[in-house]
Chain A
Amino acid sequence: MDGQTIKTLVAIFLAAILTENYVLNKFLGICPFLGVSKKLDTALGMSCAVTVVMVIATAVTWPLYTYLLVPGDLGYLQTVVFILVIAALVQLLETVLRKFMPPLYNSLGIYLPLITTNCAVLGVTMLVLEKGAADPSFGYLQSLVNAFGSGVGFLVAMVLFAGVRERLEECDIPETFRGLPITLVAASLVAVSFLGFGGVVDRLL
């Protein structure tokens, strides 16, 4: 792998976390972001599970689409096939964890079925193919790196936000805003801070 490819991969990875963050820029994965980010450890656990599913899902769906659906003129089956693959993967992951890593299963188990309907997971499988269509140099490897970066970006957003929410606990909030509204306002402020990363990745490399 030459220097240019590595540079590009690093750029893709960093961009997925900072400038194209799935939660704070693309609005994908909001439901778990709002629902599960209350405590740091659950946020961490959930994000790790999401990252794993994102990478495996991309690894499976990319070749499936490129070498099976497109040549077979079955592109319209993309939505159905992808979501079923993801559902199957999550089911598989659940079974594997339950059998081989019971303690991990017990702490993560509840969130696993939730990952199936996480827009970020289905989103990443589709968006990497969109990118690949516009830019032929964005192939399988780049897609995997992007998926991994997106998962890490999700994790970063979740963990940051969990910290913010733990602080919010100690505040006295008016009745109307208690719960979800103030959480959303806090999220908007975190999103503002991420706006500051715009352009950083290109300048950095």
Chain B
Amino acid sequence: MATKKSGSLRMEFTKGIIRENPVLRLVLGCCATLAVTTAAGNAIGMGAATTFVLVCSNAAISLLRNVIPGKVRIPAFITIIAGFVTIVQLFIKAFSPALDTALGVFLPLIVVNCIILGRAEMFASKNKVLPSILDGLGMGVGFTAAMLCMGTIRELLGAGTVFGIPILSHFMEPVIIFLLPPGGFFVFGMLVALAGKLSKEGKAPEGVGCAGCPLAASCSKLTEKETCTKNMENWEAAE
């Protein structure tokens, strides 16, 4: 990891927004992105919940990074993350049951959102608390922004409304398929292409090594260089 300079705290925050946007560039958290973006409102709700969990778990794991032994790293992280997810679940059930119904099973599934475990593993366990919090915040904002983009496009084209306000539905029949799974994949593909184009670095950021590998989040073999290289080959071959 390169040494951090003073201006780099801001960088920790902004990198999550486009250059290393977790959804569109690092390809993490896809399940939630595809499933919950049928309406812009749901996208924001999910994004906010995930950001909360991300920031809290990054902070907690960063605080405990020198205390948790390597062997039980993953189960420990999972327990902490699951704890925060349950807290968010309970609060949403209590104060916004409509959001709870809209997000359905994807609310508890935040616990397996690769972004959170990925950032815990890649960043929070190796950095101090403040940068970790900012990293979590940046990634969370990037995630929410990507979800909002997708949600708005899908809702607009698929139902003619945005946040429930009819906009296009006066002019044309909505194209329902955007609300269905095929539409989700399609819009996602278009956005990934767009993000790739906009991001000056082109392909996967932090290109080589475990840092860019999406399997890294669950890879218990991070220390085994040879297996990781094999993973990287699979990943790069997939690019």
Contacts and interface: CB of A to CB of B under 8 A. Distances in A.
Nearest to A188: B185
A144 interface: no
Interface string B95-114: 00000000001001101111
B157 to A, nearest CB: 14
A117 B78 CA distance: 10
Given A76-B90, A77-B86, A122 B111 contact: yes
B34 interface: yes
A29 B181 CA distance: 13
Contacts of B230: 110
B101 to A, nearest CB: 12
Contacts of A79: 82, 85-86, 89, 108, 111
A31 B30 contact: yes
Interface stretch (B10-18, B60-68, B124-132, B211-219): B211-219
Given A181-B192, A184-B188, A87 B74 contact: yes
A130 B105 CA distance: 9
Contact of B189 (A42, A114, A185, A192): A185
Contact of A84 (B79, B221, B231, B234): B79
A182 B105 CA distance: 28
Contacts of B82: 79-80, 83-84
A83 B112 contact: yes
Interface in A25-40: 25-31, 34-36, 38
A180 B192 contact: yes
Nearest to A185: B189
Contacts of B113: 119
Nearest to B181: A191
B30 A181 contact: no
B166 interface: no
B182 A188 contact: yes
Given A26-B35, A195-B182, A31 B28 contact: yes
A117 B214 contact: no
B26 to A, nearest CB: 11
| Chain B interface size range | 35 or more
Contacts of A84: 75, 78-79, 82
A150 to B, nearest CB: 13
Nearest to B110: A79
A27 B34 contact: yes
Given A110-B230, A176-B193, A127 B78 contact: no
A50 to B, nearest CB: 13
A38 B234 contact: yes
B48 interface: no
Interface string A151-193: 0000000000000000000000000111111111101110110
A61 interface: no
A80 B83 contact: yes
B183 interface: yes
B189 A176 contact: no
A25 B181 contact: yes
Closest 7 CB pairs of A and B: A184-B189, A188-B185, A181-B193, A27-B35, A188-B186, A80-B82, A191-B182
Interface of B: 27-28, 30-31, 34-35, 74-75, 78-79, 82-83, 85-86, 89-90, 105, 108-109, 111-114, 117, 177, 180-186, 188-190, 192-193, 196-197, 203, 214-215, 217-221, 227, 230-231, 234-235, 237-239
13 contacts: A30-B34, A31-B27, A34-B30, A76-B86, A88-B75, A110-B230, A122-B108, A126-B108, A176-B197, A180-B239, A184-B192, A188-B186, A191-B182
